Amino acid sequence: MTLGHEKLDVYRLSIGYVAWVYKKADSLRGIHRHARDQWLRASQSIPLNIAEGNGKTAEADRRRYFEIARGSALECAAIQDVLMIGEALDGKESQERKIELDRIAAMLSRLGGRGYRVREDTESYGHPEFDPGPDSDFDPDEL
């Protein structure tokens, strides 16, 4: 059985990122332990908030969870910077993963952005009897 959030590309990408973080975090000790612990929490927060947000029916709730997940992705990027400064992470590998985090953040912005749409009345398009809805690909010129 596949749950709804497991079908989302952004969820699968975030799980892949968490797997990488676990592998890297295993070798972090000593002065890096606080960054390691925060990195593990922040990385786990991404898929957990995606799953919880995807299960919400109220658009404002969905958006809030996706925004939290996006913030956690950005936090992970900052933690990687901290670990690079501390010479605990390789710069090239970290940069590759930051590109992945940027993609995750962009996908979450798009998912969470649905609630920010501006909707105009259909009359302005000359078709008052038809309301296509906010997610429709309806093109009034095709009538």
Length of the chain: 143
Does the structure show a pLDDT above 60 at 140?
no
Q: How far is CA 83 from CA 13, 32, 98, 140, in A?
A: 22, 7, 13, 53
At residue 113, the pLDDT reads: 76
Q: pLDDT of 62-92, one tens digit each?
A: 999 999 999 999 999 999 999 999 999 999 9
pLDDT given for residue 20 in this prediction: 98
- The secondary structure element, H or E, covering residue 105 is helix 91-112
pLDDT per position as a tens digit, 105-119: 999 999 887 544 444
Q: Which residues does 79 contact at the CB level (< 8 Å), separation at least 6? A: 35, 38, 39, 42
Closest listed residue to residue 14, CA positions, set 100, 118, 91: 100
Token pair 């908030």 in the structure block, residue: 49
7-41 pLDDT, tens digit each: 999 999 999 999 999 999 999 999 999 999 999 99
Distances, alpha carbon 24 to alpha carbons 49, 83, 94, 110, in Å: 22, 11, 11, 29
Count CA atoms within 13 Å of residue 73 on its CB side.
31
Q: Which residue has the tokens 């070798």?
A: 27
What pLDDT does residue 133 have? 60
Residue 83, amino acid = L
- Fold type of domain 4-116: de novo design (two linked rop proteins) (1.20.1440)
Long-range contacts of 65-71 (CB under 8 A, 24+ apart): 66/108, 66/111, 66/112, 67/108, 67/112, 69/14, 69/45, 69/108, 70/104, 70/105, 70/108, 70/109, 70/112
The model's pTM? 0.77
Span 117-131, pLDDT tens digits: 444 455 554 555 555
